[in-house]
Copies of this chain bind each other. A is one copy, B any other.
């Protein structure tokens, strides 16, 4: 399932964001994963960090009986797999065919005297952004209703992947449900309600392409 490409290739794909993170050039290569391909597993040694080039990634935790909580969706440009500990605290999987850039984690810290300061600072910014997202997601998980959760999800995704007026969701209803702490049926029902109220509409053959028709109302439902 995993195909390694470009590693140590002669040409140099741009990886400015990862470079900027480290404060110097750290490009290592690219990986490509098929649908459902595991990028790393919870508890594994965190030797790489990643940036999505194309596609989408979900990162999640599991309970022993299989209940899943998706922590975040990573879309093109997003950096993930940043751990200041030893191991990954999530499992990360490609949702669709996905290409990621990667670099060795230790390259962030093992640089010379001058390089390490901006690197640590940038890691701090990144971890802080993750923390902020986690904090607002706790409010969502603990205190919002199903409709509010789905509305919040749509608002978030609208800001991250709406292009040309259409939002093309890479993830399934089950993924959305496991992100919002719901069942897939409840997500489906909430979307139907929103469609019935004229807040959104589906386009195309599948139900994964959404047009938002009433953003103010959606924002209001997000409360």
CB distance from A92 to the nearest CB of B (A): 13
* Contacting pair B143 A138 (CB below 8 A): no
Option from B90, B120, B128, B138 in Cβ contact (under 8 Å) with A71: B138
Residue A139 lies at the interface, judged by CB distance under 8 Å to chain B: yes
Q: Which residue of chain B is the closest to A84 with respect to CB atoms?
A: B128
* Contacting pair B132 A135 (CB below 8 A): no
CB distance from A75 to the nearest CB of B (A): 19
Residue A159 lies at the interface, judged by CB distance under 8 Å to chain B: no
Question: CB-CB < 8 A to A120: which residues of B?
Answer: 117, 120-121, 124
How far is B181's CA from A142's CA once the two chains are assembled, in angstroms?
A: 4
Question: CB-CB < 8 A to A116: which residues of B?
Answer: 117
Question: CB-CB < 8 A to A84: which residues of B?
Answer: 124-125, 128
* Contacting pair A141 B181 (CB below 8 A): yes
Residue A130 lies at the interface, judged by CB distance under 8 Å to chain B: yes
Do A135 and B71 form a contact, CB below 8 Å, given A117-B120, A127-B128, A128-B84? Answer: yes
* Contacting pair A143 B223 (CB below 8 A): no
How far is B134's CA from A178's CA once the two chains are assembled, in angstroms?
A: 16
Residue A67 lies at the interface, judged by CB distance under 8 Å to chain B: yes
Point out which of A68, A123, A130, A138 has the most chain B C-beta atoms below 10 A from its C-beta: A138
Question: CB-CB < 8 A to A68: which residues of B?
Answer: 143
Residues of A near any B CB (own CB < 8 A): 61, 63-65, 67-69, 71, 84-85, 89-90, 116-117, 120-121, 123-125, 127-128, 130-132, 134-139, 141-144, 178, 180-181, 223
5 chain-A/chain-B pairs, Cβ below 8 angstroms? A67-B144, A71-B138, A84-B124, A131-B134, A141-B142
